[in-house]
Structure 1
Amino acid sequence: MLIIVLGLFIAGIAAGVVSTLVGMASLISYPVLLAVGLPPVTANVTNTAALTFTGLGVGVSSRYELRTNYRDLYWILPLTVLGSLLGSFLLVIFPSQIFEKIVPFLVLMAAIVFLIRPYLHANRPLADIRENVPIDRNFIMISAVFLISIYGGYFGAASGVFTLLAFTMTAGLKYTVANAVKNISGAVANLVATIIYAFYGNVNWGYALPMGAGFVIGGWIGPKVARSLPAETFRWLIILGAFVLSGYLFYKAYL
């Protein structure tokens, strides 16, 4: 049992770092939970519960990136909570199988947009993209945050990629700042889902807590790594992550 707990802790650290960089923690943590013997549904809800702990590490480690944009969380987080609740409610009513066929294409499109982004902003270097400017609370931005939150509560996969796309393309934020806001809002969305799962799901807390402890450390390390990366390198990490996630989702949906 000690070996399992240690393995979950180490997997949590690795997945936490990946989560805060490119938002694909579940590609590491979910298979590990399956490997230790949890059924797929239990592994899924346990993974979501563990992911919630990432927010603790991210909140401490991302203070630099959020020194101006933390006020944006005052309107982003309520929308995230409402959207996640609505998405979770819709999941109870409507099956998510249709999204399993569509999402791989959406993630692939997001990867392509990140790939061609420099050509969309040819006169503005990546390093000069807005860093310390509040996000405009216009209709498009509010709608994007709310709709992505609904999607995250309903289906979940790749919601971090779509959030990054919204904050970098629509709001024009620097990658590291957009990533910090994404990580905080994602942690809140996972918390909402975890509360629901705690009442209606089958969370294995004996596995969620050691993995969650690893997520705290990984969530603390990730922003420090992101901060040290050049903007172009960070962009390519996101592109690579999005293509890998798209391939994984294609495999699950069609093979």
Structure 2
Amino acid sequence: MSDIRPDLRRPLGDYGIDGDFRVIPPRGHAVILALIGIALVTLTIRNAVTGAVTAAVVFGSFALAFALFVGSYLRASRVGKFEVWARVLGGLRLRGDEHVLDLGCGRGALLVSAAKLLPHGRAVGLDLWRADQSGNSPDATRRNAELEGVADRVDVETGDMRRLAFVDASFDLVISNLAVHNVPSREGRQAAIDEAVRVLRPGGRLAIGDLLHTNRYRGRLEELGMTDVERRSLGWRMWLGAPFFPTRLVTATKPI
């Protein structure tokens, strides 16, 4: 097998913006953010011109913090997640013949990245296709797989991560990025973790990146007897809004 690995940091597809767009569509979010930014800059300039230095400093600080928040969010969603997961997937040292399941695959950013490392394997993406990502749909995911040249090794399915329609020990690796926290109840999130462990083969591995509840994921995996359970920050590249919303990774291995 060749030692040459694809560069996962430079995707060819269109993977949208991560976020909750069930109530307000992406363009509405963009308009609201633009109006807030304009208002803060306007207030900063107006107070500076009129000699209200303290107010100008306050509004200027808010404007800068807001710009950093929006900038880090967009960078993480469009660029950072590819950089981070390239490192995570590379660290798994996949053989290339594994079967991989991506829970809450969205438009396929993580799914397609994994598929690029599976010339003799298979990657399955599962989602309910809610509007928690712009343009989220099975067709968008399949188009991205085609653009990236991995459509022949990718399957896209509609399903609930709390009730997986796969037999026990079906996958060598289960992955997920910013998806499990969307399950509304604690019991539901625990069921998703239980299902992920159930469909793993002995010796199989799990890697879940999320904004919330990662301590509980780790605790549940330890209760289920998983080994090498670890939780760590994915760093500034996955800050969805400066350091206020860091993404953490939980990894574990199923005992043989």
Asked if these proteins are the same fold (TM beyond 0.5), I'd say no
More strand by share: 2
Q: TM-score, normalised by structure 2?
A: 0.23
- Larger fraction in helix: 1
**Greater length-normalized contact order (CA 8 Å, ≥ 6 residues apart):** 1
TM-score, normalised with respect to structure 1: 0.23
